[in-house]
Amino acid sequence: MTAFAYRGGQLYGEDVPLEAVAAALGTPTYVYSRAAMEQQYQAFAAALGAETQVCYAVKANPNLGILRLFAALGAGFDIVSGGELERVRRAGGDLRKVVFSGVGKSHAEIAAALEAGVFCLNVESPAELHRVAEVAGHLGRQAPIALRVNPDVDPGTHRYIATGLAESKFGIPIAAAPELYAQAARLPQIAVRGIACHIGSQLLDLAPLGAAAERVAALYHRLHDMGIPIQHLDLGGGVGIRYRDESPPTPAAYAEVLQRALAGIPARRVVELGRALVGNAGVLLTRVEYIKDNGSKTFCVVDAAMNDLLRPALYGAWHEILPVRAGRASPALTMDVVGPVCESGDFLAKDRPLAAAAGDLLAVMGAGAYGFAMSSNYNTRPRPAEVLLDGAGFRLLRRRETLDDLLSLEEV
């Protein structure tokens, strides 16, 4: 589904002209399409089948309204902090469908997860395994765990979001996993439930995912031979989306790769999708403040900045930028689209042909994942509002921050 398209020279989201959102709430503002998120979830859930639990990766976009939407669709949740656990709770998510990942879980986070009755803790080191056992013992509980194994597979993505290589901080080397599983099985405070694996994000080629799944399948059979039963296989997520000219995998192709690698294994499957569900369901609206020509370079200075959308500065990520009202008579100029933050790295796009003037409204596309989630208050800038489109209407999911919000926790 294309949630955002031109009608009569105006860019719409669902049945709402984006100019109407900016007129009502100002800029910068994140705008999300409910229909696009629902359709993506349903497409993956249908392709993967009833034997697979689709978990939404909260870190992609943790807004409570979006979590509520996925909870209503039957999603589980992949979390990486105690804060995300509380978000799922407040959004009405089923805590029995929560998978808790991450390399640095604290005593308090482990305790909160066990008291909440989460589906599984994905353990990433021998030290964490013993901490989980210690906390579970104090609480008089048995902790459901999977070991997150590192298959040393190159996912072919940006090095910052590759998580399955030997030099990555994530997971346990797959060769070392059988011995650690044997140790876990001997701990009375631990209930071995699954095997977990995640090799990276923005995956466009499914071959590495298939190779990782095959290694997980081999480990499953090895553990079965050791007398250690495994109830579920967590294959992570990371399915990519189209930002520019990529050809991302379809839900059917993704499901086929997993089925081919895991055929004949009776364990339930879990996947953790984030960007694939919300990435192209969101845009960032921003207004042009100035067009600046310094002789050798032209800059389109907008009111959104790297603190609002960090991906271009952090990863060199490419986001399409469209005028909300098309057909400006002035010719397109090659410009850098930059923000007001006092950093040379504060840019949203480099060397883009763009016909724009001061006061124009622009839409930064593909901003539904890792947009607001990674935003900050750098330069004492309040973070944007967030809006959910729903057919011909829209509603506020998060109001724009004020300076009073930013300063309220500080004292002189």
Q: Are 235 and 273 in contact (CB under 8 A)?
A: no
Q: How far apart are CA 180 and CA 183, in angstroms?
A: 5
Radius of gyration of the chain (CA): 23
Phi-psi region of 35 (alpha: psi -120 to 50; beta: other; left: phi over 0): alpha
Of 271, 215, 202, 276, residue with least CA distance to 48: 271
* DSSP run (H or E) holding 351: strand 347-354
CB neighbour class for 61 (10 Å; exposed up to 12, middle 13-18, buried from 19): buried
**Beta-bridge partners for 394:** 389
Q: Maximum distance among all alpha carbons in the chain?
A: 73
* 342 in catalytic set: yes
Residue from 55, 120, 300, 342 carrying the catalytic annotation: 342
DSSP state of 214: H
User: Would you please indicate which residues are annotated as catalytic (active-site) residues?
Assistant: 342
